[in-house]
């Protein structure tokens, strides 16, 4: 195509993966034209505005560097598919809610729809890249759909899973630990993989770009997330033991993490993991194991989910029992609703389950999060907890979104830190203490606060995996 670009890339899906990934490719490859397409005009309009549809540190700067030059956002899906040499499929693959494998298997309907659209409108052969997290052998289904085109076109299907973490997506993409590209081990498949390698090689050292067969690439993504989530559930199981025995989970993690074979990362105990990937990918792995008759393997990985659910439930129950076995009518401040700091993503956030439990106990919940919109909070609670204003009378009045942390805590019987936002470490807790009902309780679900300092102010502090001074006075 004689428009001055060496290559044309189209990405189907303008979400948390597609948008940032394509922005980074465009920023590092000025001779490649990159266009992100989506059915949602609202989302595309936001990508073309100063108010991006997702929050990610550094993302705005990267987008502004290339937008309108070699980075574009469009709803004209057909036209962009026709232009593209390489098409990324980066659409949502949620866990199925009904049918075979409901609650465990991934719903790859959106991937298939993308493949059908590509086959329908393409006028030339293309490389199609799975970017979405998908079950093993999804690429085979995509390839079969593409091969059924009636134009004689040839498509090569690659797997290129993302390994970015929300909150650090831009540095993760700019300096990745590795880039994984899986393809069919044929001359055509290897050539397609090399074409994608050459894109990443513009800024990623070649030795950090790994090429494998398709199935290894698809499975590697699930396994990576399963291993990370496993570490979180492992230390959270120990946090429960610490609270029962008077041990300190921070001291445990320090001692264990100094072992080079184990390492220090993902050993921070908390109310549990959230986000769009960990639970979905583990459930997908569980379903795969069940499908292939590996029952013991399925049970092993499912326990990671069981432990995560236990940790969230345990936290809610401790709040209620500590507040004299009732929170009915009491104001409870929730600091943080996003599943982690530096993102506005609320998918599977642990905060949601604590809020749900408190509402069931008839508490008056006041939530403050610097990036989460009330609309997004309701959307996720409706989708995941089946709790909405329409089907839960009084919900609108039971949950208030506060303009700041001080308003959330004013008059509260307790505050719970559920997202590790840095600003929560810097709050004036003497001011907060004076404004709260007494006794004033703090529940630190992320272990980010100075508990000794809070106790000197007058708070009764309860934290994940930390000994309770009222129970272990000898420590």
Tokens 């007494």 -> residue:
438
Evaluate if residue 464 carries a pLDDT over 90: yes
75 labelled ligand-binding: no
User: Region 380-386: what's the mean pLDDT?
Assistant: 92
What's the pTM?
Answer: 0.89
- According to DSSP, the residues that pair with 211 across neighbouring strands are 181
What is the structure's pLDDT at 390? 84
- According to DSSP, the residues that pair with 334 across neighbouring strands are 367, 416
pLDDT tens across 20-56, in order? Answer: 999 999 999 999 999 999 999 999 999 999 999 999 9
Evaluate if residue 256 carries a pLDDT over 80: yes
User: Region 50-69: what's the mean pLDDT?
Assistant: 95
Cα–Cα distance measured from residue 121 to residue 370, given in angstroms and rounded to the nearest whole number: 43
Which region among 131-135, 196-200, 298-302, 388-392 has the lowest average model confidence (pLDDT)?
Answer: 131-135
> Which residues are known to be catalytic?
277
18 labelled ligand-binding: yes
pLDDT tens across 415-461, in order? Answer: 999 999 999 999 999 999 999 999 999 999 999 999 999 999 999 99
- Residue 30 burial (10 A CB sphere; 0-12, 13-18, 19+): middle
Q: What is the DSSP letter of 283?
A: H
Cα–Cα distance measured from residue 301 to residue 225, given in angstroms and rounded to the nearest whole number: 11
What is the structure's pLDDT at 101? 76
16 labelled ligand-binding: yes
Q: How confident is the model at residue 1 (pLDDT cuts 50, 70, 90)?
A: low
Can you state the angle between helices 18-28 and 59-66, rounded to 10 degrees?
A: 50
Cα–Cα distance measured from residue 249 to residue 235, given in angstroms and rounded to the nearest whole number: 8
pLDDT tens across 158-208, in order? Answer: 999 988 888 899 999 999 999 999 999 999 999 999 999 999 999 999 999
Between 101 and 238, name the one with better pLDDT: 238
Evaluate if residue 355 carries a pLDDT over 90: yes
354 labelled ligand-binding: no
308 labelled ligand-binding: no
User: Region 126-149: what's the mean pLDDT?
Assistant: 84
Cβ atoms < 10 Å from Cβ of 417: 25
406 labelled ligand-binding: no
Closest CA to 310 of 232, 228, 227: 232
Evaluate if residue 108 carries a pLDDT over 80: no
Strands 155-159 and 179-183: antiparallel
- According to DSSP, the residues that pair with 7 across neighbouring strands are 32
Which region among 93-97, 122-126, 230-234 has the lowest average model confidence (pLDDT)?
Answer: 93-97
Q: Are 115 and 146 in contact (CB under 8 A)?
A: yes
Cα 348 to Cα 95, 276, 342, 354, distances in angstroms = 12, 6, 16, 12
- According to DSSP, the residues that pair with 8 across neighbouring strands are 33
Q: What is the 3-state secondary structure (H, E, C) of 93-120?
A: CCECCCCCCCCCCECCHHHHHHHHHHHH
What is the structure's pLDDT at 139? 81
Between 475 and 184, name the one with better pLDDT: 184
Q: How confident is the model at residue 319 (pLDDT cuts 50, 70, 90)?
A: very high
Can you state the angle between helices 278-291 and 214-245, rounded to 10 degrees?
A: 110
Total residues belonging to the chain: 475
93 labelled ligand-binding: yes
- According to DSSP, the residues that pair with 12 across neighbouring strands are 37, 89
Cα–Cα distance measured from residue 345 to residue 167, given in angstroms and rounded to the nearest whole number: 9
Report the mean per-residue pLDDT for the chain.
93
Give the contacts of 97 (CB within 8 A, at least 6 positions apart). Answer: 103
Q: How confident is the model at residue 473 (pLDDT cuts 50, 70, 90)?
A: low
Terminal Cα distance for the chain, rounded: 73
Cα 170 to Cα 180, 205, 339, 343, distances in angstroms = 17, 17, 18, 12
278 labelled ligand-binding: yes
95 labelled ligand-binding: yes
Q: Are 282 and 273 in contact (CB under 8 A)?
A: no
Q: How confident is the model at residue 391 (pLDDT cuts 50, 70, 90)?
A: confident
19 labelled ligand-binding: no
What is the structure's pLDDT at 470? 77
């Amino acid at each position: 195509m004689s428009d001055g670009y060496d290559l044309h890339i189209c990405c189907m899906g303008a979400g948390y993966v597609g948008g940032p990934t394509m922005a980074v490719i465009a920023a590092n490859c000025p001779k490649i034209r990159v266009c992100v397409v989506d059915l949602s005009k609202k989302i595309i309009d936001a990508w073309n505005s100063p108010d991006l549809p997702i929050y990610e540190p550094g993302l705005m700067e990267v987008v502004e560097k290339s937008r309108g030059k070699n980075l574009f956002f469009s709803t004209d899906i057909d036209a962009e598919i026709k232009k593209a040499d390489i098409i990324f499929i980066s659409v949502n693959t949620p866990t199925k809610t009904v049918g075979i494998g409901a609650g465990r298997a991934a719903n790859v309907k959106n991937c298939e729809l993308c493949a059908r659209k590509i086959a329908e409108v393409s006028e030339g052969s293309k490389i199609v890249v799975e970017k979405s997290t998908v079950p093993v052998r999804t690429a085979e289904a995509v390839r079969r759909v593409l091969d059924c085109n009636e134009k004689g076109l040839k498509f090569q299907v690659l797997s290129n899973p993302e390994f970015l973490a929300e909150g650090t997506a831009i540095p993760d993409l700019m300096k990745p630990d590795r880039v994984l590209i899986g393809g069919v081990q044929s001359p055509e498949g290897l050539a397609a993989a090399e074409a994608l390698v050459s894109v990443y090689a513009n800024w990623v050292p070649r030795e950090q770009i790994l090429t494998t067969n398709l199935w290894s690439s698809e499975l590697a993504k699930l396994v990576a997330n399963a291993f990370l989530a496993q570490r979180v559930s492992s230390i959270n199981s120990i946090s429960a033991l610490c609270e029962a025995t008077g041990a300190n989970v921070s001291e445990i993690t320090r001692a264990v993490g100094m072992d080079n074979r184990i390492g220090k990362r993902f050993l921070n105990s908390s109310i549990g993991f959230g986000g769009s990937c960990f639970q979905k990918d583990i459930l997908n792995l569980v379903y795969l194991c069940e499908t292939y008759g590996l029952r013991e393997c399925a049970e092993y990985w499912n326990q990671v989910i069981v432990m995560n659910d236990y940790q969230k439930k345990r936290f809610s129950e401790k709040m209620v029992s500590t507040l004299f076995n009732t929170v009915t009518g009491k104001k409870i401040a929730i600091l943080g609703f996003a599943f982690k700091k530096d993102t506005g993503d609320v998918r599977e956030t642990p905060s949601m389950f604590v809020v749900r439990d408190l509402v069931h106990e008839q508490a008056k919940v006041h939530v403050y999060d610097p990036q989460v919109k009330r609309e997004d909070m309701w959307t996720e609670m409706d989708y995941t907890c089946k709790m909405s204003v329409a089907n839960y009378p009084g919900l609108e009045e039971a949950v208030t979104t506060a303009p700041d942390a001080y308003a959330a805590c004013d008059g509260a019987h307790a505050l719970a830190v559920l997202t590790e936002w840095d600003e929560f470490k810097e709050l004036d807790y003497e001011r907060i203490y004076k404004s709260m009902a007494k006794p004033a309780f703090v529940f630190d679900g992320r272990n980010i606060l100075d508990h000794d300092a809070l106790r000197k102010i007058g708070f009764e502090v309860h934290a994940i995996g930390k000994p309770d001074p009222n129970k272990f006075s000898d420590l």
